[in-house]
Amino acid sequence: MNVNEPDVYLGLQRRVTPNLRASLPGLSPPCADEVRVVARFLLNLVAAYPMKSDQSSRLRVRVSALLVIAFHLFLAPIGMAQSPVPGAITGRIFNPASGEYIRNAQIRIESTGELITSEDGGYYRVSRVAPGPVTLIASFTGYQSVTATVQVASGATVTRDFELFSTLQGPAAKDAAGAPLKLTAFTVSSAREGNAKAIMEQRNSMNITNSVASDVFGDVAEGNVGEFLKHMPGVELDLVQGEVRTIRLRGLDSEYTQVTIDGVSLGSADANAGAAGNARAFSFEQVSLASMESIEVSKTISADVDANAPAGTINLKTKRAFDRAGRRVSMAANLTAFSTRFNLDESYGPDDRKSRKIHPGGIFDYSDVFFNKRLGINLNISESMAYSANARTTTTYNYASTVADPRPVVPTSINFLHAPRTNRRSTVNFTSDFKATERLVLSLTLLYNYAALNNPQRSLTFNTGARATVVGANPLTSFTTNNAAASVVSNPAAIVKLGQTMTVVPKFEYRLGDLLIEGKFAGSNSISWYDPRGRQGSIRDAGGPTLTGLTYTARRSELKSVDWHIVQTGGPDMANGANFTNPTIQIDDGRYALTDVYSGEIIGTLKTNKFLPIVWKTGVKRRSETRDFLVDTESLRYTLNGAPALGGYAAYNSPFDFDMGATNTDASLRSIGGGTVWTPDLVRLGGLYRDNPNGFTNSLTAANFYNAFVANTRRYEETIDAAFIMATTTVGRFNLRAGLRREETSGDALQFNPRSPAELAAAGFAETNGRATTIDGLKYQYFSKPRTHRLGNYSNLFPSASLKYKISPNFDAQLGFSSTIRRPTFRDIAGVEDINDEALLVNTPNPSLKPEKSKNFAGRVAYYFEPVGILAVNLYQNNVKGLFITNNLTAEEFGYKGDLDLSAYTFRTTTSSINDVTVRGMELEYSQSLSFLPGLLSGLNVRASYTRNYASIKRANLVPHSINAGLSYSYRKLNLYSNLNWRDNFPTNVTGNPRFYRHRSNLDIGGGYRINNTINFFFSARNIFNEPYLIMEQVGVNAPAVQFYEVNGINWTFGVKTVF
């Protein structure tokens, strides 16, 4: 190659540069002198390698040419110092009507079409903007788009804020300079504004989500988040006496759903669930809606989210001061009332004392910014108390017809439960955000939730005796007992459940241009316990005093009704406590649960524009959780000293008659003497024990001791280490995201290390089936050696991906995939190991149990339209593998490595099956503001959704069809709304007698009237038609008969709210 060969490279530069400019806008190729220098260097570099003469010239040129191109691509920034440096545009999007900064507004660069979405606090940033005039268009559904042109200087950052006005206001007025004029207060209906927020949230999400702002479904004064969530598509509720405890998504049980607050998993203890199968499920008892700004339900998840969510995630977003401009103070006072006690009179209930049933409540919310808008705080305090009454009727049947008695179905018992209750919730939520510098923000969230449930449950059970003694041609609707074996059991129970959760979440955000580093740490302590004696002075229960030898008649109107009219026809008077037995009483309730959760994570996000605009996100996280369960109730059993065979508690009759009229079931009870049924007064019995504890004797048996202190105590610790990487990019009309997450889980189950039967015998203690038969023997067997740690660990990789294609500006198609797990419940991995020498059987937990694995697929097609409208179709499928089953293993298969020789024993434990289940479903959703209608109709907002679920196997509690609908109306100062939920029949069990919940509709209504710009009156009513819950039982060809009937009454709320 001669000395002029660098000119070859100059020619190459002239040919390559236009292509580089076209394919990589903004790239500044090196100048000619730079190319000559680099070309000579590359020539010498290539010449250093020996080549055949006939190939050397062309090969050297080609290799050097490739290196020149690489120089253009990767070293070009060196030469960019001589070119104009890109600038940036930042700002905030503001809604003057509500005083809120707008999240999820879209800001589009007119020249390039690049789309930016505003973040929390309404902040947005457009990076790498070419110097010169740039036109921006800010838009948000239901609001007028705003266009502005800004002048970007080389290397400078320009600030441009936007104010958006509702389309209901007409064209925004502008001053002579083109800036929007400040308008007088203008009110948009909360339903319309909330729906707009929800649409923009899910429109901008790469996950398939449904979002809802907390002002959409009206005021929920008692604060139950579940009452709010039930109106969303794909959401089902797990209820306890009409109150929402847990949430199910898309046909999967509650433990398949993850619930977070601001993306942080909180402690959630439920002493009632204890170590049940859904103990990992989040309980909504201790969470109040008052402090929440919005709720996001994600049906698919991405790599930056914990993977234990096969059904999806529910994220509750708290209110933050920087979401608003300046100071805002909101106060609300309310009264709650119940349909059957809608007065100010004192009456019996919920326990054996009189009280008023209308209770006050209130919410205080304060938000402000200080120090030149560098510090923002939000304080929310809420208090609610509501009285309600639950009534259940449960009927059991005998289906074993004989030649002598060919009747296909005969009732065997009827149980009536009347459970009035008061439910108190107290919440304090404090958030602060401090802009330490322009780049660093320090934040702190403090949450305190307290719940107190006083729920005495008054239970009566009428047993019929033997099948043949039930007289009647059609006993399903009318029968008479004629045998002394019939009985009635009066067994009230004082249920006083308490819970509190305290959470601290400090975090920081550091921004440097397109780099964001976030650190988030959380500590959460949650406890749940029962305490009827300490809080209400009541014993837990009287053990079920029983009267035998009575006869009675029972009649009802039809199979699906429980309007039983029971009349005693013979035997001892059931209204007289002297005729009832004196069983052992439970002086207290020993259920207790504790959950501690500590977590820390560091996440980095970087926006790059080399080749493609890509948002990179990566992070690491550690989460540690401790669970303690204890149920020592059986150690609290006492008998009354010197009590006669019958009537020992006769003098302690409750003044609160068992009034079936108060239960909304239209049933009635009448004793042979014209009374109802004797019921013991648990409060007075509690006073008897308190004043004279020596009058009682503890009746603790060895079996009671074992159940209280061995079988029902568990402790489990779990640590999860996670790391992830994720990238999101835009290519033309496609938005793509892919990510990979890894989680390593280690568990530590603290278990008893019991003495062997041989050791028991050597110590002089008798045993049966491997367990000591005395309390002293049990103490020696289980408590004379330190507990042992049973360890387990596993790791998983979780790929995820999503794709969104913009068919048109308002028409999106979306696909999502995620890999997730359901971790084993604590019942299956922690507990006591029980050795039965006679059966050669070991019942044991399995700390090495691996999680269920799920692959989740989802698709959505959504059309967005004005004003504030969406029409969407969602399809989804979950493939769940490794379902948990009870299995019998050999000692070797189980991995037993203990000191005992158990090689001949069978180990019964929980393992992962080879079976799997596929759950598929569809959701149709529609919502729209009808402001385009003329006149009075312009204030209407409508929404509706339909959900279809089905599975490859029969699953309990899977609802095949459900419909949610809502209608709201706003006219001047008046607003009204109604929300409807309908559920089709669905099975409650997969074994035993087939049972199913009968289809049911629920209608809630509410509204308000605005006195002025600061004061508003509101009301709401839940379950306005008092629709019952019915479980039907159908065996063989028999007609379905109601097995369970529950009504919860109508809950009313009236209040006044002021904002200034």
Strand residue runs (E) in 513-613 = 515-530, 546-548, 551-555, 565-570, 585-586, 591-608
pLDDT at residue 32 greater than cutoff 60: no
Residue whose tokens read 């119940």: 338
**Is the domain 322-752+787-1059 a CATH 3.40.1190.20 member?**
no
CA distance 346 to 836: 56
pLDDT level of residue 899 (50, 70, 90 thresholds):
low
pLDDT at residue number 8:
44
pLDDT digits (tens, 9 = 90+) for 915-928: 789 999 999 999 99
The lowest-confidence range among 528-542, 629-643, 890-904 is: 890-904
Residue whose tokens read 């020992």: 648
Locate all alpha helices (DSSP H) within 578-721, ordered by sequence. Answer: 682-691, 702-706
Contact status, residue 846 vs residue 895, Cβ threshold 8 Å:
no
pLDDT at residue 578 greater than cutoff 90: yes
pLDDT digits (tens, 9 = 90+) for 178-208: 554 444 344 456 778 888 888 999 899 999 9
Dihedral, 692, 696, 702, 705 alpha carbons, nearest 10: -30
pLDDT at residue 979 greater than cutoff 60: yes
- What residues contact 690, with CB distance under 8 A and at least 6 apart? 533, 537
pLDDT level of residue 117 (50, 70, 90 thresholds):
very high
- What residues contact 774, with CB distance under 8 A and at least 6 apart? 702, 765, 766
Mean pLDDT across 1020-1026: 93
Mean pLDDT across 485-493: 94
pLDDT level of residue 447 (50, 70, 90 thresholds):
very high
pLDDT at residue 945 greater than cutoff 80: yes
Contact status, residue 766 vs residue 773, Cβ threshold 8 Å:
yes
pLDDT at residue number 44:
52
Is the model more confident about 223 or about 1036?
1036
Is the model more confident about 100 or about 67?
100
Mean pLDDT across 597-610: 94
Mean pLDDT across 2-22: 44
Share of the chain above pLDDT 70, in %: 88
For 705, left (φ over 0), alpha (ψ -120 to 50), or beta? alpha
pLDDT digits (tens, 9 = 90+) for 346-367: 998 898 899 999 999 999 999 9
Contact status, residue 789 vs residue 748, Cβ threshold 8 Å:
yes
pLDDT digits (tens, 9 = 90+) for 381-394: 999 999 999 999 99
Structure tokens, 1: 């190659």
- Residue 563, CA distances (Å) to 248, 568, 900 in order: 32, 16, 59
The lowest-confidence range among 218-227, 709-718, 765-774, 919-928 is: 218-227
* CATH topology (fold) of 190-321: Ferric Hydroxamate Uptake Protein; Chain A, domain 1 (2.170.130)
Share of the chain above pLDDT 90, in %: 64
CA angle 654, 655, 660 (to 5 degrees): 90
pLDDT at residue 47 greater than cutoff 70: no
pLDDT level of residue 766 (50, 70, 90 thresholds):
very high
Mean pLDDT across 751-762: 91
Which CATH code is given to the segment(s) 87-169?
Answer: 2.60.40.1120
**Cis peptide bond prior to 583, omega within 30° of 0:** no
pLDDT level of residue 226 (50, 70, 90 thresholds):
confident
Contact status, residue 466 vs residue 486, Cβ threshold 8 Å:
no
pLDDT at residue number 10:
44
Helix (H) / strand (E) containing 8: helix 6-23
Domain spans of the chain, in order of start: 6-81, 87-169, 190-321, 322-752+787-1059
Helix (H) / strand (E) containing 724: strand 713-731
Average pLDDT, the chain: 87
Mean pLDDT across 962-987: 94
CA distance 453 to 424: 6
Contact status, residue 285 vs residue 245, Cβ threshold 8 Å:
yes
Is the model more confident about 226 or about 119?
119
pLDDT level of residue 13 (50, 70, 90 thresholds):
very low
Mean pLDDT across 151-170: 90
pLDDT level of residue 705 (50, 70, 90 thresholds):
very high
The lowest-confidence range among 274-278, 292-296, 711-715, 742-746 is: 274-278
pLDDT digits (tens, 9 = 90+) for 946-972: 999 999 988 889 999 999 999 999 999
Structure tokens, 693: 């504890």
Question: Which string of b and e fits 611-643 if b means at least 16 CB within 10 Å?
Answer: eeeebbbbbebebbbbbbbbbbbbbbbbbbeee
